[in-house]
């Protein structure tokens, strides 16, 4: 019978083998696009790998895709939740990767991700954002995307109207990681960082704490965090983030906090019901008083 340790070692070996294959594929693409990279400006622009070229309408060469800053394999992934401002923006050794609505807030970025369809950008399905407001936000964001930022923007396609658009290498990700467990944009970002050979990954502003995110998306992000750590990558998650956190060690510690919170929740619910009953009685008294007032006023006017 194979031990759990042997099984874990076998899976890790398989993962490393897949990453070696991905590295070879990246090297092949680098060679194919060497002519394009030679044409890039010298100086601060550092030519690096571009994963995929457009198979659509002919167009000018795109911005090449940096793995990280030169001499570094450190990637900081920035979301929009609390704590995003703690990222190492002033440290040039970190390549800053961000996404979506952070475009108007983030002080620096090197690689952008917008993996929603062009006509569904800024779409909200929570029923709280009016359609006209969504259209306004979409128009502003599309205008920003169509500017020439001189940096890559990963998208579903090489959209002609977006100068920095680079088609996300989905086929190569699925070839390397065939389980197809991509529940949000951060999952795609983590997968790409792993394949590109990042040695350190830091995650800021990614909580997945709301009900929808927690149930549908957070497990996927935590899966990719574990996969990165299993591949030997140092992953930094700030204490403020809810990712990869648990209150106790299951089976070894009592969850006293959960018991206290459950008690306080029950108490709050009872107090809420009592307040509702008091309000009902108060509303009834007000209604009775208003009715009596109307009757007395009518009697005074007519008798």
pLDDT tens, residue by residue, 233-280: 999 998 878 888 877 777 787 766 666 777 778 888 888 998 898 988
Rounded to an integer, the average pLDDT of 99-127 is 83
Residue 212's pLDDT band, with cuts at 50, 70 and 90, is: low
pLDDT at residue 301 greater than cutoff 90: no
159 and 191 share one domain:
yes
228 and 278 share one domain:
no
Last residue of a domain, one of 236, 264, 288: 236
209 and 189 share one domain:
yes
Last residue of a domain, one of 215, 236, 257: 236
Which range marks the domain in which residue 275 is found?
Answer: 248-303
Question: Greater confidence, 252 or 72?
Answer: 252
Calpha distance 35→33 (Å, rounded): 6
Residue where the block lists tokens 């006017």: 301
> pLDDT tens across 76-111, in order?
999 988 889 999 999 999 999 999 888 888 999 999
| pLDDT value of residue 254 | 73
126 and 187 share one domain:
yes
| pLDDT value of residue 257 | 66
Last residue of a domain, one of 192, 215, 236: 236
Calpha distance 38→296 (Å, rounded): 94
| pLDDT value of residue 300 | 86
pLDDT at residue 197 greater than cutoff 70: yes
| pLDDT value of residue 10 | 65
Q: How many domains does the chain have?
A: 2
pLDDT at residue 62 greater than cutoff 60: no
Contacts of 258 (CB under 8 A, 6+ apart): 247
Rounded to an integer, the average pLDDT of 225-233 is 94
Rounded CA Rg of the chain? 27
Element (H, E) at 201: strand 200-204
Cβ atoms of 148 and 161 closer than 8 Å: no
Contacts of 159 (CB under 8 A, 6+ apart): 118, 165
| pLDDT value of residue 27 | 56
How high is the mean pLDDT of the chain? 77
pTM score: 0.65
Residue 185's pLDDT band, with cuts at 50, 70 and 90, is: very high
pLDDT at residue 191 greater than cutoff 90: yes
> pLDDT tens across 30-44, in order?
454 344 434 433 443
206 and 103 share one domain:
yes
Residue 243 lies in a domain: no
Rounded to an integer, the average pLDDT of 277-293 is 88
Residue percentage of the chain with pLDDT more than 90:
33
Calpha distance 61→54 (Å, rounded): 9
Question: Greater confidence, 222 or 134?
Answer: 222
62: closest CA among 75, 53, 72? 53
| pLDDT value of residue 259 | 67
| pLDDT value of residue 95 | 95
Contacts of 39 (CB under 8 A, 6+ apart): 61
């Amino acid at each position: 019978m194979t031990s759990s340790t042997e099984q874990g070692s076998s899976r890790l070996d398989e993962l490393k083998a897949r990453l070696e294959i991905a590295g070879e594929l990246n090297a092949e693409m680098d060679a194919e696009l060497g002519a394009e990279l030679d044409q890039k400006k010298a100086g601060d622009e550092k030519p690096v790998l571009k994963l995929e070229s457009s198979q659509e309408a002919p167009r000018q060469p795109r911005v090449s895709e940096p793995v990280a800053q030169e001499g570094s394999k450190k990637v900081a992934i920035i979301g929009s939740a609390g704590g995003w401002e703690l990222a190492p923006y002033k440290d040039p050794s970190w390549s800053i990767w961000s996404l979506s609505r952070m475009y108007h807030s983030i002080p620096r970025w090197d690689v952008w991700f917008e993996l929603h369809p062009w006509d569904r950008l800024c779409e909200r399905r929570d029923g709280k954002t009016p359609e006209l407001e969504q259209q306004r936000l979409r128009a502003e964001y599309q205008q920003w995307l169509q500017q020439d930022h001189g940096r890559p923007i990963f998208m579903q396609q090489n959209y002609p109207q977006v100068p920095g658009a680079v088609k996300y290498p989905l086929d190569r990700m699925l070839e390397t990681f065939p389980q197809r467990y991509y529940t949000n944009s951060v999952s795609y970002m983590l997968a790409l960082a792993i394949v590109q050979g990042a040695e350190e990954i830091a995650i800021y502003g990614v909580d997945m704490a709301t009900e929808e995110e927690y149930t549908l998306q957070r497990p996927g992000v935590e899966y990719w965090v574990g996969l990165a750590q299993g591949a030997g990558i140092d992953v930094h998650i700030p204490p403020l983030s809810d990712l990869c956190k648990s209150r106790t060690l299951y089976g070894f510690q009592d969850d006293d906090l959960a018991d206290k919170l459950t008690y306080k929740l029950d108490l709050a619910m009872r107090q809420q019901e009592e307040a509702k009953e008091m309000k009902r009685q108060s509303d009834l008294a007000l209604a009775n008083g208003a009715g009596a007032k109307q009757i007395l006023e009518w009697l005074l006017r007519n008798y």
